[in-house]
Amino acid sequence: MIRRAFTLIELLVVIAIIAILAAILFPVFAQAKEAAKATQVLAQMKQVGTGMYLYGSDYDDMFIKWYTRTNLPANGYYRDDLLSWPIAINPYMKSGLPDRNNPGVATGARVPPTGLMNSILWDEAKWTKGADMADCDGNGTPGSGLPPGVWVPVRWIHSHYGIGFGAIYGSGTIADPLANMAGSAGGTGATMSMTTPARVAETIIITDGFTGVLAGGGFGTTMGCESAFMYKGGGNAIFVDSHAKFIKGNNERYVMQNSAGLWVRKYHYVAE
């Protein structure tokens, strides 16, 4: 009887080929999985943008403030003295109300956001990495953008997204482009009309970022450059006209010249 079998060398060759294929395909599968999650987050943000737009329609076309005062006691990490924009916008989405019943709120443990305000791809390390960059909030060293003990680790997270509050900075040069971010200040600060931005389809109002209670008990929000490394080498953004899309890298790096010849941040400049 004639018998045939694989030799040891043949088996080793087959194993080596399988290993090579696995090394090639596993990263592809991981990228595909991340892309699918990013698409889900983008769909969520589109709904948040619609909620923001509906809110403005009921409030004389004014941007929602990132927080408003309630005149109640702060009550520790609950921060009952203010009303965050995720809470204010909730009636227009019926999803994403901060989890007040989680016992971690009272103790200062991390409490994640819910519903549409919870991004399955949000990562504190990637968020702080964007903030630490020299072209964002820091100087390139870890902890320089969002200081530990003051900002991180974060506590009661209201949203994995941050909203604009009308900051103005920059000189208008190519090295220091002018920014005039859309949005309304918090508390009793000034409000901005949703009709103020000249290019509503190109002006960002919400990005991947953060809104909630900080390590030191304060309340904060970040939008813009902090989303530079959230996923796929960038992050999602919601524009004034309520549509959302992915932007590669730091969305504050994109510059252009306005009609007066000044260099401005393309996605963060409300006037033409």
Residue 132 has pLDDT above 70, yes or no: yes
What span, in angstroms and rounded, lies between the C-alpha atoms of 104 and 110? 6
Supply the pLDDT for residue 111: 98
The whole-number average pLDDT for the span 17-24 is 76
Residue 29 has pLDDT above 70, yes or no: no
Supply the pLDDT for residue 271: 86
Query: pLDDT for 199-225, tens place per residue?
Result: 999 999 999 999 999 999 999 999 999
Closest by Cα among 148, 128, 125 to 138: 128
The residue among 202 and 11 whose pLDDT is bigger is 202
Confidence bin at 17 (pLDDT 50/70/90)? confident
DSSP character at residue 193: B
Residue 59 has pLDDT above 60, yes or no: yes
Cβ-proximal residues to 35 (8 Å cutoff; 6+ apart), any chain? 232
Classify residue 143 as exposed, middle or buried by CB count within 10 Å of its CB (0-12, 13-18, 19+).
middle
* Domain coordinates in residue numbering, the chain: 11-269
Query: pLDDT for 97-107, tens place per residue?
Result: 999 999 999 99
For residue 35, what are its two tokens? 């892309």
Residue 145 has pLDDT above 60, yes or no: yes
Helical residues (DSSP H) of the chain, grouped into ranges: 8-58, 85-89, 104-107, 124-132
183: which strand partners?
165
Give pTM, 2 decimals.
0.88
What span, in angstroms and rounded, lies between the C-alpha atoms of 137 and 150? 14
